[in-house]
A and B are shown apart, each in its own frame.
Chain A
């Protein structure tokens, strides 16, 4: 299995807020060691590899993950899903709930 982490770099050279947050969580949990490659989607360079991958896979927000396995390639836009389904790492109930909100815009009716 090969996991690629695509993170966005803003015009000021810093990662976007969500990318920084996810990277910190990956580091804190030790899961960063299981990421094989980090690719940048650089706002200053539309031809950067990360920007091209986002366009290729139809992803419209950072960060995202590309998982290549024997069974094929899967794109994960949810960090929590990656933890649960790929890295088989326990996820807390509040972290899972936060992820549900973040990836379900239509829950704002609640």
Chain B
């Protein structure tokens, strides 16, 4: 059945996370949770508490921390669910590594590597779904996520012949809300969180952050220079002498 455009507008801000997940599981024939191996585990906890079958997938880039791989299996065992582990296309990875080595992202930026290891397999998966559920939150990045709604048409991955809806049930939750839920419901979490990691991605591209550092500072920290280099903000220009 899915959601109409009017549904999306109406529900964009109205639902608590669990109710939105329940509604999505009721309304969409093909809906899945995207699990990154981090705090978005709370989505799985909420969905399984609803007593419904839930489809979960995760992207194995081949570069994740050992702790994350262990955590994925821990979640599988804890909730008794099948987690579909999506791998990148071998030929594309082999070509990237053959041409540029294993750490090209430090020179060329992460887009090429993430494109091959994450986006290509994600695109293939999303082509089979009507909707996907993510753990995105506004507070994860004030600069890029401040406007994330609870529900949205996925304009990035929809095609003229395939409409895709993205649900972000945790959009309005803070990190404190998520960790409160984890503690109250005894939800398992990635042991990297005990080592100072807040945002968790691939091993070479993720680092722990210090107290009061924003979690985004733990990801792709070397790219600030490139962003400034190509920026066209007035502040990046020098005044005329």
Contacts and interface: CB of A to CB of B under 8 A. Distances in A.
A37 interface: no
A4 to B, nearest CB: 15
Interface stretch (A23-31, A68-76, A93-101): A93-101
Nearest to A44: B238
Given A102-B111, A106-B136, A16 B156 contact: no
Interface string A1-25: 0000000101100001111000000
B115 A98 contact: yes
Interface in A14-73: 16-19, 41, 43-47, 50-51, 54-55, 59-63
Nearest to B147: A106
Contacts of A100: 115, 119, 123, 156
Nearest to B92: A94
Contacts of B229: 10, 16-18
Task: Give the bracket for the number of chain B residues in contact with chain A.
Answer: 35 or more
A99 B216 CA distance: 21
Interface string A67-110: 00000000000000000000000000111111111101111111
A109 B119 CA distance: 12
A8 B136 contact: no
Contact of B240 (A19, A45, A104, A108): A45
A16 B109 CA distance: 14
B120 A54 contact: no
Nearest to A48: B237
6 contacts: A16-B229, A55-B234, A60-B231, A94-B120, A100-B123, A108-B141
